[in-house]
Amino acid sequence: MEPAYRWRPLAAPSPWPTPRGRVKALRRALDAARAMASVEDPEALTAAELAAAARAKARPELLQWLITPPLTVQKIQELHLRVTRDQRTVMGLNAEGRPVYLPMPHGVFKDRPNNPRRPDGRVHEYCPPDRVPQEMARLLTILSEAPEDPVVRAAWLHHGLSCVHPFADGNGRLARILASAPLVAAGLPPLEVMDQDRERLYLPALRAADAGDLTPFVRFIEAQVERVVAAMLAALPCGGEDGAGLNAALAQRTRRRRLLTRPERSGLAQHPRRRPPREAPRRSPPSPSDWS
């Protein structure tokens, strides 16, 4: 029976997909929101970012460690160890082809094929175990030559790791965290795949990438980032559902801060919301002509 997907060595798309640019606009709005949050409420955006990171099942400290250069094969192995350290077993097949539970290897590449079988009986082929080190080195080489756009890099990194499937288990979790690295490094939230989007959007986009078209997966990641950024902006007092009114609010805050930094108002700088009491206007006593 013909495999559902036949593995082939990694290759860079030609041409690379081009995002629509919507994420860049939202990133500018998010940067402005960060500037405002640091003045209005230093914890407001931080809480939203931590919530998004938690939903993405990636701790902020882990992502900060991951985006610190360089990204190496050894670092990816260390990431796998950290992500799967609580997993004790992995499903495998014995010599008779029956499913059995095997000890979970942490942070080391697979030593046996891990090709899943689809419901129709066809096999989805991943990289053979003896080719994994070579293909992981190739993945990082292609990534270093990829466009600087974080969404494109996230899509390529995720799909490339999924094609190699270098570990016995945990490859999907690892791919989503790795895909978050270019996004977080660019000031964007980590990749978050909602349960309701998995079968309808996420897996079809990955299958399109398997067929040689990375664009649907780039669009999928772009849409996920847009949704999370919009939610972050909505969580801010000045953000609005899609960032509407953000620029006006930022301009108002900028004007207010400029007023507070003028020399004649330096006394207000420590208490920007407290105004000095107004002196009552002085009135001269009424003259005798006013009594008549």
Neighbours of 76 (CB within 10 A): 21
pLDDT at 91: 85
User: In this predicted model, what pLDDT tens digit does every residue of 46-88 receive, in sequence order?
Assistant: 544 444 444 444 467 888 899 999 999 999 999 999 999 999 9
Return the structure tokens found at 153: 């890099």
Name the pLDDT band for 117 (thresholds 50, 70, 90): confident
Q: What are phi and psi of 277, to 5 degrees?
A: -65, 140
Q: How far apart are CA 58 and CA 61, in angstroms?
A: 8
Return the structure tokens found at 160: 């490339």
The verdict on whether omega for the bond into residue 70 sits within 30 degrees of 0, i.e. cis, is yes
More confident residue, 189 or 108: 108
More confident residue, 106 or 118: 106
| The most confident of 129-133, 183-187, 226-230, 252-256, by mean pLDDT | 129-133
User: In this predicted model, what pLDDT tens digit does every residue of 219-273 receive, in sequence order?
Assistant: 999 999 888 888 777 766 655 444 444 444 444 544 554 554 444 443 434 444 4
Query: Of 170, 169, 173, 140, which is closest to residue 157 (Cα–Cα)?
Result: 140
pLDDT at 274: 47
| The most confident of 35-49, 175-189, 260-274, by mean pLDDT | 175-189
Q: How far apart are CA 148 and CA 199, in angstroms?
A: 29
Q: How far apart are CA 125 and CA 7, in angstroms?
A: 5
Name the pLDDT band for 146 (thresholds 50, 70, 90): very high
Q: Residues 153, 183, 126, CA angle at the centre, nearest 5°?
A: 45
pTM metric for this prediction? 0.71
pLDDT at 228: 84
N-to-C CA span, the chain: 116
CATH code for the part of the protein at 22-235? 1.10.3290.10
The verdict on whether omega for the bond into residue 15 sits within 30 degrees of 0, i.e. cis, is yes
pLDDT at 292: 42
99 SS3 class: strand
Q: How far apart are CA 74 and CA 72, in angstroms?
A: 5
Contact 250, 38 (CB under 8 A): no
Question: Taking the CA atoms of the chain, what radius of gyration do you get in angstroms?
Answer: 28
Give mean pLDDT, residues 37-41.
48
Name the pLDDT band for 45 (thresholds 50, 70, 90): very low
Query: What stretches of the chain adopt beta strand conformation (E)?
Result: 89-93, 99-103
pLDDT at 32: 66
The domain locations on the chain are 22-235
pLDDT at 237: 60
What is the CA 215 to chain-centroid distance, rounded?
A: 18
124 SS3 class: strand
Q: How far apart are CA 202 and CA 195, in angstroms?
A: 10
Contact 246, 35 (CB under 8 A): no
Return the structure tokens found at 224: 């996920």
Return the structure tokens found at 74: 């050894």
Name the pLDDT band for 41 (thresholds 50, 70, 90): very low
Return the structure tokens found at 213: 């078209």
Query: Of 259, 258, 247, 240, which is closest to residue 35 (Cα–Cα)?
Result: 247
pLDDT at 18: 87
Q: How far apart are CA 23 and CA 222, in angstroms?
A: 7
pLDDT at 171: 96
Residue type, 177: I
Give mean pLDDT, residues 112-116.
90
DSSP state of 275: P
